[in-house]
Structure 1
Amino acid sequence: MSELQEQEERLQFDRFDHDDAWELGSRLVGMARERDLSVTVDIRLGDHQLFHCALPGTTADNDDWIERKIRVVRRFGHSSYLVGQSYRDRGTTFEQQPHLDPARYAAHGGCFPIILRGTGPVGTVTVSGLPQLDDHRLVVEALGLHLEAKRAG
């Protein structure tokens, strides 16, 4: 859990706009293509979808997973993987919670909040198509590379 919390502290933006969504989304798609991964990538600022790309091998089910993961991040303000892990650490599962419909919420890795420093979560970046930890790691890696490039440039 501490590593997941550290990621959210470290991977924060000073600002985030349409250009950032295009650059980050393009980076994620490029990484997936280089690794021959079948994923769908989605980036939103609030309710506004700024980037969406479904690579070969994905289906409409990936879009459903994205929506369900986004609802978790919006409700809890943390990555979908962190939320799911917090339940596993308590010896239960997110899906066992009676007040959270698994048809609407999925605390599976792959959705990460876009966090503005000093403001908090303002959007989401989501990947669907891999095992949940791999989805999460791909998003975290891309965010780290994107933010590093912004600081260097």
Structure 2
Amino acid sequence: MESLQDLLAKLKREEELIQFDQFTNRTAFEVGSMLVEEAYKRGLTITVDICRGEQQIFHHALPGTSKDNDEWIKRKNRVVTRFLHSSYYMGVYYKIKNTNIQEKSQLDPAQYAPHGGAFPIIIRNVGVVGTMTVSGLPQIEDHEFLVNMLKQILNIEP
């Protein structure tokens, strides 16, 4: 079994690898559509959301999702926007520190969810410009679905 330290290092490597040369509204539509199509193929009950800055530029809720998924997306996105790391990375970080987002960062867990599923949109040589988020599966599955799809879309070796 992988240690939390090893997992945190793996999550950091994902952020270093999964970067775009540019990210336009068209990119959001194409990437979001690929995520949605794959979710339909697999019969997943998820919501997919992409934001650049504060603007939501793609959002699709598959059948069986609810407003709760939208709220989880907002909470996960706030974590990525605040810390510039994936929401799963931050959840593991807090576990390693034996604390939580409220104790360590004085943030309301009703507003910030350090749970898997939100990933920073990183433009190479620029930095984080937005968020890409999946909600509806257990947190590790949300994260893995999103990351594995992005690796495939960007032709990054697993």
TM category, shorter: over 0.9
Question: Corresponding residue for 2:136?
Answer: 129
Distance in 2 between residues matched to 1:37 and 1:123, nearest whole Å: 24
Q: Aligned to 1:90, which of 89, 92, 97?
A: 97
* 2:77 counterpart letter in structure 1: I
Cα offsets for 1:86-143 (capped at 9, x unmatched): 0111222335446110111000000000001111100110000000000000110121
Q: Could you tell me how far apart the structure 2 residues matched to 1:98 and 1:49 are?
A: 26
Seq. identity, %: 52
Given the alignment, which residue of 106, 117, 138 partners 1:99?
Answer: 106
Structure 2: how far apart are the matches of 1:136 and 1:4?
10
SS of the residue 2:44 aligns to: coil
Q: Deviations over 1:44-70 (max 9, x none)?
A: 111111110000110000000000000
Cα distance in 1 for partners of 2:52, 2:37 equals: 21
Count of aligned residue pairs for this structure pair:
149
Cα deviations by residue, 1:22-61 (Å, 9 ceiling, x for unpaired): 1110111111111111000000111111110000110000
Structure 2: distance between partners of 1:113 and 1:132: 16
| TM-score normalised to structure 1 length | 0.93
Alignment partner of 1:111 out of 110, 118, 128: 118
1:42 & 1:84 partners in 2: Cα distance? 20
- Compared CA separation, residues 98 and 44, structure 1 to 2 (3 A): closer
Match of 2:66 among 59, 66, 76: 59
Query: Larger deviation: 92-101 or 32-41?
Result: 92-101
Q: Does the 8 Å contact 1:111/1:136 carry over to 2?
A: yes
- What corresponds to 1:145 in structure 2? 152
Question: Superposition RMSD on alpha carbons, in Å?
Answer: 1.3
Distance 2:57 2:154 in 1: 18
What runs of 5+ residues in structure 2 fail to find an aligned partner? 1-7
Q: 1:98 to 1:119 in 2, by over 3 A?
A: closer
Amino acid paired to 1:39: I
Give the TM-score of the pair, scaled to structure 2: 0.90
